[in-house]
Structure 1
Amino acid sequence: MATKNKGTQKHNYYKVEGDKVEKLKKECPRCKGGVFMAEHLNRFACGKCGYTEFKKQ
């Protein structure tokens, strides 16, 4: 049985309180414009351009 790919659910990346909108995920500094970075154990990585930031320990 094949399942349909739901794709990225970007509405889960924002939090709305009253009239304010807050981004819950880190945005890529190179791509900007709604491109969010994936959070791994020791780094943040952009899937579009490959930019990586390592977390401080």
Structure 2
Amino acid sequence: MVIEHDLDLIANADHVIDLGPGDGAAGGRIIATGSPGRIAGVPDSVTGRYLRDHLARAAT
């Protein structure tokens, strides 16, 4: 288990637990869990938004 913000590492993870929606007192809720592709498809996930773009660039 790691706490990470590097999109390359997240994109290659087997399972992601996305916490949020913000940091500090605004964080701590589970926003989404699953594969990087699943996280990328969750509209409420800030990580998903960045990961979606990252995965799209990697696919080209």
Q: Is this a same-fold pair by TM over 0.5?
A: no
Bigger RCO (CA 8 Å, 6+ sep) = 2
Of Structure 1 and Structure 2, the greater strand share is in 1
Structure with higher Rg: it is: 1
The TM-score with structure 2 as length reference comes to: 0.28
Of Structure 1 and Structure 2, the greater helix share is in 2
